[in-house]
Amino acid sequence: MTALATMMEVPLTVELVLDRAQRWMKDVEVVSRRPDRRLHRTTYGVIAVRARRLARALVGAGIRPGDRVATLMWNHAEHLEAYFGIPLAGGVTHTLNLRLHPDEISYIATDARDRLVIVDDVLLPLFDKVVAAGATFERVIVVGSAGAPEGYEGYEAFLDSAPDVGLPTIAESDPLGLCYTSGTTGKPKGVLYSHRSTILHTLVEALPDSLDLSRSDTLLPVVPMFHVNAWGLPFAAAMVGAKLVFPGPYLDPPSVLELLESERVTVAAGVPTIWLGIREALDAAPAKWKLQPGLRMIVGGSAAPEQMIRDFDRLGMQLIHAWGMTETSPIGLVARVPPHLEGTDEALCYRLRAKQGVPPPLVDVCVRNDDGDVPADDRTSGELMVRGPWIASAYVGGHSPDRWTSDGWFRTGDVARVDEHGFVQLTDRVADLIKSGGEWIASQELENALMGHPAVREAAVIGVPHAKWSERPLAAVVLKPGATATAEDLRAHIAARFPKFWLPDEIVFVDAIPRTSAGKFKKTELRETYRGHYSAS
Ligand code: ADP
DSSP string, 113-161: TEEEEEEEGGGHHHHHHHHHTT---SEEEEE-TT---TTSEEHHHHHHT
User: In ligand 1, which atom is closest to the CA atom of 303?
Assistant: 24
| Element holding 200 (H helix, E strand) | helix 195-205
Q: How far apart are CA 91 and CA 194, in angstroms?
A: 11
Cα–ligand 1 centroid distance for 81 (angstroms): 27
Q: Which of 223, 321, 325 to mutate to test the pocket of ligand 1 (most atoms within 8 A of CB)?
A: 325
Q: Does the CB atom of residue 319 touch ligand 1 within 6 A?
A: no
Whole-angstrom distance, CA of residue 74 vs CA of residue 384: 32
Mutate to test the pocket of ligand 1, among 323, 423, 429, 525 (most ligand atoms within 8 A of CB): 323
Please return the burial class of 153, using the count of CB atoms within 10 Å of its CB with bins 0-12, 13-18 and 19+: middle
Q: Among residues 95, 181, 198, 202, which one is catalytic?
A: 181
> d(Cα 247, Cα 256) in Å, to the nearest integer?
7
State if residue 182 touches ligand 1 by the CB under 6 angstroms criterion.
yes
**Protein residue closest via CA to atom 26 of ligand 1:** 302
**Does the beta carbon of 323 lie inside 6 Å of ligand 1?**
yes
State residue 354's pLDDT score.
97
Q: Which of 187, 288, 290, 435 is catalytic?
A: 435
| pLDDT tens by residue, the chain, 537 residues | 677 899 999 999 999 999 999 999 999 999 999 999 999 999 999 999 999 999 999 999 999 999 999 999 999 999 999 999 999 999 999 999 999 999 999 999 999 999 999 999 999 999 999 999 999 999 999 999 877 888 899 999 999 999 999 999 999 999 999 999 976 667 899 999 999 999 999 999 999 999 999 999 999 999 999 999 999 999 999 999 999 999 999 999 999 999 999 999 999 999 999 999 999 999 999 899 999 999 999 999 999 999 999 999 999 999 999 999 999 999 999 999 999 999 899 999 999 999 999 999 999 999 999 999 999 999 999 999 999 999 999 999 999 999 999 999 999 999 999 999 999 999 999 889 999 988 889 999 999 999 999 999 999 999 999 988 889 999 999 999 899 999 999 999 999 889 899 999 999 999 999 998 888 899 989 999 999 898 755
Residues 6+ apart with CB under 8 A from 203: 239
Q: How far is ligand 1, taken at its centre, from the CA of residue 251, in Å? A: 20
The residue nearest atom 8 of ligand 1, judged by CA position, is: 182
Tell me if residue 181 is catalytic: yes
> In the annotation, is 323 catalytic?
no
Sign of CA dihedral 174, 178, 179, 181: positive
The predicted pLDDT at position 148 comes to 82
Is 440 among the catalytic positions? yes
263 carries an active-site annotation: no
Distance (Å, rounded) from C-alpha 234 to C-alpha 78?
Answer: 12
* SS3 state at 46: helix
Gap from CA of 24 to ligand 1 centroid (Å): 36
Best residue for ligand 1 mutational test, from 383, 426, 444 (most atoms within 8 Å of Cβ): 426
Q: What was the pLDDT predicted at 319?
A: 98
Query: From the alpha carbon of 228, which atom of ligand 1 is closest?
Result: 6
In the prediction, which pLDDT does 1 show?
63
Which residues are 193's β-sheet partners? Answer: 177
Phi-psi region of 279 (alpha: psi -120 to 50; beta: other; left: phi over 0): alpha
Cα–Cα distances (Å) from 126 to 64, 223, 359, 363, 381, in that order, read 28, 20, 38, 38, 43
Q: Which fold has domain 14-22+39-195?
A: Rossmann fold (3.40.50)
Strand partners, 470: 466
What is the Å distance from ligand 1's center to 323 Cα? 7
**pLDDT given for residue 537 in this prediction:** 52
CA of 324 to the centre of ligand 1 (A): 6
**3-class DSSP assignment, residue 345:** coil
* Residue 239 phi, psi (nearest 5): -65, -45
Q: Which of 440, 480, 524, 529 is catalytic?
A: 440
Measured CA to CA, the distance from residue 120 to residue 72 in angstroms comes to 7
Is 309 a pocket residue for ligand 1 (Cβ < 6 Å)? no
Domain locations along the chain:
14-22+39-195, 433-536
Q: Does the domain at residues 433-536 carry the CATH identifier 3.40.50.12780? A: no
Residue nearest to atom 11 of ligand 1 (CA): 325
Q: Which of 358, 520, 522, 523 should be mutated for ligand 1, with most atoms under 8 A from CB? A: 520
